[in-house]
Chains A and B, each alone.
Chain A
Amino acid sequence: MTTIIKTKNLSKSYGKTQVLKNIDLTIEQGEFTAIMGPSGSGKTTLMNTLSTIDSFSGGDVWIEGQSLLDMKRKALREFRQKRMGFIFQDYNLLDTLTVKENILLPLSLQKTPVAEMEERLAKLIDALSIESILHQYPSEISGGQKQRTAAARAIITKPAIVFADEPTGALDSRSATQLLEQIQLLNKAFETTVLMITHDPYAASYCQRVVFLRDGKIVNEMFKGEQSEKEFFDRILTIQSAIGSDQR
């Protein structure tokens, strides 16, 4: 198993406020990890630094063995474009493109041959059940369908890791369950590494591993192992109430 992300003493401060404090975290290939924590715990900042969208103030981050400190802006951007995928809470689909065009956009920009694009798309269509909406525009489809489109867009580039920022945040429970099941499926079938940020224990219960964050520090970590989602969910709830939950 290869290591996708490794951080050592990762710190980040905005002025005097320290948002991340000496975080040591390792994410292996194929893992489906959730980062949980109340708002203000630094989980979004952590994801932004790991995904190279934001800089950090101390320590170092290695992605696929490469230190981010050694990489220039352009290299970071290319790295982000080719090796990372993103799923956002508000979908971030371009409303002037059809579902298919939205999914293929990253490949288009990388000038991938059209035949290869179609081939990669075909593999995802079933897993995400998006066949029927391929030629529709974002304004014509539901939130769950939008998020599945976004998921497809995130993994079509075969990234080393997919960052998902509250992917179920704007969805109703049925669509959320469907999406989580599908991400789980993709994770298993394609060995896609997924790092998900969430404050929702239910969403976290679909992951293999949950990392708890509070005040910029990792305070707990648990693995699902052979438990069912339900059992895992109960354990997460217990820990969460111990740490102090966040109802927002």
Chain B
Amino acid sequence: MNIVDLSWRNMKRDFRLYTIYFISMLVGVVIYFTFSGLMFNEDVVAAIQNKENYKMVIFIASIIVFLFIVFFILYANSFFMKQRKKEFGMYLLYGMKERQVAAMVFFETLFLSAISVSSGILIGGLLSKFFGAILMNLMHYNDDISFAFPLEAIVSTILLFALLIVIVTIQSYFNVRRVQLVELFHAKEKKDKPFKFSFGLAILSIILIAASYCTITLSGDTDIWKDYFNETLIATTIALIVGTYLFFRQFSGWVLQKMSQSKNYLHGNKILWISSLRFSIRGNTINFTFNSLISAMVIFAVGFIAVDYAVKGNVVKKEFPNHFAFSTQDDKTQKQIEQIMNDSHPIIGHETITGIQTEKIPNRQTFFSYPEYYTEEFYLFPESQLNAIVDLREVGEKVNLKGEDAIILTRGLDEPTKYKSPQPKITVLEDNTFRVVEKIRYPLLSIPTSPGGDTSPQPSVLVISDEAFEHLKANRTISSYEIYQIEDPKTSNDVSRKIYDIVMKTEGAYYSAYIDMYSVDTESSSLILFSVAFFAVIALFALGSVIYFKQLREATEEREHYAILRKIGVGDKEMKRIIRKQLLFVFLPPLILGLVHSWYLLYYTVILVIKDLPSLTTIIFSVMGLYVLTYLIFYVSSTSIYYKIVKEKNTR
């Protein structure tokens, strides 16, 4: 019997163990190939406006995916190796060399990888059509994605997994070398006494978690967040992690200890699952902490990004209300431009506004919280033109100004303010002073854009009364702007490109199009949402398998316990009840803590900040709901596996 033969027999014999390992590898390949397949998918690349950005994001994402896979497969392999320790010991005892055992493991890995890489690529290729379609859908493109097996993606998948095989083989070799023959002759390690828990540390865990929650609760305007943002962030994160760790190690241990001291403890099956949990806390703390932090992270990230994606469309609509806005051209060019629009996207509204450009105004910061986002010059417009645009857009409120009253227009970041006396003054065009009564969020002239998505500072706009404007108009250069609303602006990429080229023939011309920002923003936020959702799936998968491996190991260890219980007359139903209770304590606290953590984070970073998104709570609750559902599936399948393992090798 040679080594290859031996490997083959092993695989046939210990089918379940190999299946788990195989599935972990397969999922790794599928995820990685799907990702790199998207990067090289011609249909997807053709539809994307900002190709460089796309490749970059997907490339970085696939590196993260790969790191995840490496970590995950090494974890699976180390579990696998531990389970086979005894088997390796037997080989060594019968005179096989460590190298030969390692070679055997290598052949097994090679065989499993060959199958998982080839079938993974097949599945991944099929899935990439589906995921490509999801991505296109998120970006609101209608392009069809065909099945694709790009050569680059295949090659990179094979290369990376070849590298992985090398790493896994090295890991296995060290594992084989670490096998000590003497362990074969010892009975299974006896468990010690349960861990002693300290009340002080249990309380400390609660204090740490409460403290980090309190810090999160303090709004961003408070001094510690404003002045020491990084320090506060790090401290809060550390407190949260340490608090979570102590919560599981000390607090839950302390609770179980208290429970075991209660009068009721000896009554019913409590005695069994509580004692079993008390013994397993030490080995499980890291796992629990990992579970709840990953849960918190996944829920927070997906919730945050999903809300961001949902909000983006609205933000762009608010900040770029003009489908097209540009400096007025001569009559002929103007006709030409209108023709371009009407060819594909008929004009539904048009207005011309005229204003006066001022010199640079030094005291901008009096009015703007973030002056760097605005031009240094101001543009003066009469109230009637603002009102005309309100009519055109059917959004906003008309204004009525008298004498020296003026209104400043701002963008999203600036809070609208009504100034009380003494109202701030602004002096423009040498000696014309106005009293600013209010600043409102209303981009009359939106942020200048170009079809590639580049932007310039927002024109600072001062709206004055019609009379004042008439007075200033005399002897001054007037600049005028054309503002158009068209049908179906979300698909006007080509139109924007053509108009931009025409308008920009004049140096310093103003140009702003809704679509320029919309396509870039939607693409990037779709990509991020897509990648984060992907990471979340991987993280969940990793979490699921960590739990699964752990349960598998524990169930195997506890098998003897349950055999004893069966001998003293505990029935199947009772055993199921005990297992369910025991696992409930393993699953529920990490989930609850994870949910609470992420809720706090989401509440103070998203829910309180974003006010005008009706679907906000729906999004967040569906993310949480999905997560709980996944966790529930983990729980139910774990209990059934646990029960199956425990039931094995038992008579009647």
Residue from the list A93, A105, A114, A137 in contact with B193, Cβ < 8 A: A137
Taking CB atoms, residues of chain B closer than 8 Å to A109 are 268-269, 569-570, 574
Closest chain B CB from A210 CB (angstroms): 25
Q: Which B residues lie within 8 Å of A88 (CB)?
A: 567
- Check: B649 CB closer than 8 A to any chain A CB: no
> Taking the complex as formed, is B276 at the interface, i.e. its CB lies under 8 A from any CB of chain A?
yes
Contacts of A104 in B (CB 8 A): 266, 271
Known pairs A80-B569, A106-B569; A96 contacts B263 (CB<8 A): no
Question: Least Cβ distance of B365 to chain A in Å?
Answer: 68
With A80-B569, A86-B567 known as contacts, the answer to whether A94 contacts B268 (CB < 8 A) is no
CA–CA, A112 and B389, complex, Å: 83
Tell me how far the C-beta of B104 lies from the nearest C-beta in chain A, rounded to whole angstroms: 34
Write out the residue numbers on chain A whose beta carbons fall within 8 Å of the beta carbon of B268: 108-109, 111
**Is there a chain A Cβ closer than 8 Å to B210's Cβ?**
no
Question: At the interface, yes or no: B564 with Cβ under 8 Å from chain A?
Answer: yes
> A54 at interface (Cβ–Cβ under 8 A)?
yes
Q: Residues 244-278 of chain B: 1 if any A CB is under 8 Å from the residue's CB, otherwise 0?
A: 00000000000000000001101111111001101
Shortest Cβ gap from A94 to chain B (Å): 6
- Contact between chains at B276 and A96 (CB < 8 Å): yes
* Set of chain A residues within 8 Å of B567, measured between Cβ atoms: 53, 86, 88, 92
Pairwise interchain contact B192-A139, C-beta atoms closer than 8 A = yes
A54 touches B571 (CB 8 A): no
CB-CB under 8 A from B570, the residues of chain A are 81, 109
Most buried by B among A54, A93, A95: A95
In this complex, what residue of B is CB-closest to A113? B267
Output the least CB separation between B200 and chain A (Å).
24
From B563, which residue of chain A is reached at the shortest CB distance? A92
Shortest CB distance B262–A (Å): 10
Contact of A101 among B263, B275, B565, B574 (CB under 8 A): B275
- Residues of A117-161 at the interface with B, using a CB-CB cut-off of 8 Å, are 117, 137-140, 153
Which residue of A is nearest B263, CB measured?
Answer: A114
* Chain A residues with CB under 8 A of B276: 96
Inter-chain contact A105/B271, CB cutoff 8 Å: yes
Q: Contact at A101–B190, with CB atoms within 8 Å? A: no
Contact yes or no, A117 B191, CB < 8 A? no
Of chain B, the residue at the smallest CB distance from A95 is B191
Please tell me if the beta carbons of B191 and A97 are within 8 angstroms of each other in the complex.
no
A53 is contacted by which of B263, B278, B651 (Cβ under 8 Å)?
A: B651
- In the bound assembly, the distance between CA atoms of A200 and B580 in angstroms comes to 43
State the majority secondary structure of interface residues on A.
helix
Task: Report Cα–Cα, A82/B276, bound state, in Å.
Answer: 24
Task: Tell whether B194 is near chain A: CB-to-CB under 8 Å.
Answer: yes
Q: Does B609 contact A (CB under 8 A)?
A: no
Chain B residues 150 to 191 lying within 8 A of chain A, measured CB to CB, are: 190-191
Q: How many Å from the CB of B100 to the closest CB on chain A?
A: 36
Smallest Cβ distance from A78 to chain B, in angstroms?
8
- Taking a contact as CB atoms under 8 Å apart, the answer to whether A94 and B275 are in contact is yes
Contact A96–B574 (Cβ < 8 Å): no
The contact of A77 among B191, B263, B561, B571, by CB within 8 Å, is B571
Which residue on A lies nearest to B573, using beta carbons?
A74
In the complex, chain B residues whose CB is within 8 Å of the CB of A101? 266, 271, 275
Contacts of B574 in A (CB 8 A): 109
Find out whether the CB atom of B569 lies under 8 angstroms from the CB atom of A111.
Answer: no
Taking the complex as formed, is B568 at the interface, i.e. its CB lies under 8 A from any CB of chain A? Answer: yes
Kindly list chain A residues whose C-beta atoms are within 8 Å of the C-beta of B263: 114
Nearest CB of A to B267, in Å: 6
Contact B275 A77 (CB under 8 A): no
A117 touches B266 (CB 8 A): yes
Whether the Cβ atoms of A96 and B279 lie closer than 8 Å is: yes
Q: Is there an interface contact between B651 and A54, defined as CB atoms closer than 8 Å? A: yes
- Flag whether B652 is at the interface (Cβ < 8 A): yes
Asked if residues A77 and B569 are in contact (CB atoms below 8 Å), the reply is yes
Chain A residues, Cβ within 8 Å of B269: 108-109
Residues of B within 8 A of A54 (CB): 651-652
Provide the bound-state CA to CA distance between A237 and B577, in Å. 50
**Distance in Å: Cβ of B557 to nearest Cβ of chain A:** 11
Residues of B190-219 contacting chain A, CB below 8 A = 190-194
Which B-chain residue is minimally distant from A140 (CB atoms)? B193
B-contact 0/1 string along A24-65, CB 8 Å cutoff: 000000000000000000000000000001110000000000
Residue of B nearest to A77 (CB): B571
Would you list which residues of chain B between 270 and 301 have a CB under 8 Å from chain A? Answer: 270-272, 275-276, 278-279
Q: Give the residues from 83 to 100 in chain A that come closer than 8 angstroms, CB to CB, to chain B.
A: 84, 86, 88, 92-97
Chain B residues with CB under 8 A of A140: 193
- CB-based contact A74/B275 at 8 Å: no
B561 touches A94 (CB 8 A): yes
CB neighbours (8 Å) of B275 from chain A are 94, 96-97, 101
Q: Are A111 and B267 in contact, with the CB atoms below 8 A?
A: yes
Tell me how far the C-beta of A207 lies from the nearest C-beta in chain B, rounded to whole angstroms. Answer: 23
Interface members, chain B 319-365 (any A CB < 8 Å): none
Contacts of A92 in B (CB 8 A): 563-564, 567-568
Q: What CA separation (Å) do A74 and B276 show in the bound complex?
A: 27
Bound-state Cα–Cα, A140 to B268, Å:
26
A-side contacts of B279, CB under 8 Å: 96
Give the nearest-CB partner of A139 in chain B: B190
Report yes or no: A114 in contact with B266, Cβ–Cβ below 8 A.
yes
Which of A106, A117, A137 interacts with B568 by CB under 8 Å? A106
Write out the residue numbers on chain B whose beta carbons fall within 8 Å of the beta carbon of A80: 569
Looking at the complex, which one of A81, A96, A108, A114 makes contact with B569 (CB distance below 8 Å)?
A81
Q: Which residue of B lies closest to A80 (CB)?
A: B569
| Beta-carbon nearest neighbor of B189 in chain A | A139
Name the distance in Å between A162's Cβ and chain B's nearest Cβ. 12
Q: Which of B190, B275, B276, B563 has the most CB of A within 10 A?
A: B275
Contact of A74 among B190, B571, B652 (CB under 8 A): B571
Q: Would A108 and B564 count as touching, CB distance under 8 A? A: no
Q: Which single member of B271, B561, B571 contacts A108 (CB below 8 Å)?
A: B271
Chain A residues, Cβ within 8 Å of B271? 97, 101, 104-105, 108
Residue of B nearest to A79 (CB): B569
Q: Are B266 and A108 in contact (CB under 8 A)?
A: yes
CA distance A96 to B269 in the complex (A): 14
CA distance in complex: A106, B267 (Å): 10
What is the bound-complex CA distance between A84 and B568, given in angstroms? 9
Q: CB-CB < 8 A to A74: which residues of B? A: 571
Q: From B574, which residue of chain A is reached at the shortest CB distance?
A: A109
B616 to chain A, nearest CB (A): 47
Could you tell me the distance in whole angstroms from the C-beta of B131 to the nearest C-beta in chain A? 47
Minimum CB–CB distance from A53 to chain B (whole Å) comes to: 6
How near does chain A come to B382, taking the closest CB pair, in angstroms? Answer: 84
- Write out the residue numbers on chain B whose beta carbons fall within 8 Å of the beta carbon of A114: 263-264, 266-267
Complex Cα spacing A86 to B276, Å: 23
State the 10 A-B residue pairs at the shortest beta-carbon distance, nearest first: A81-B569, A96-B275, A139-B190, A92-B564, A80-B569, A96-B279, A95-B191, A108-B271, A108-B266, A96-B276
A-B contact pairs, 16 of them (CB 8 A): A53-B567, A81-B569, A81-B570, A88-B567, A92-B564, A96-B275, A96-B279, A96-B561, A97-B272, A101-B275, A105-B272, A105-B568, A108-B267, A108-B269, A139-B193, A153-B568
Given contacts A96-B276, A114-B266, 13 further A-B contacts (CB under 8 A): A54-B651, A86-B568, A88-B567, A94-B564, A94-B565, A95-B191, A107-B266, A108-B268, A108-B270, A114-B264, A137-B192, A139-B191, A139-B193
Binding site for B on A (CB under 8 A): 53-55, 74, 77-78, 80-82, 84, 86, 88, 92-97, 101, 104-109, 111, 114, 117, 137-140, 153
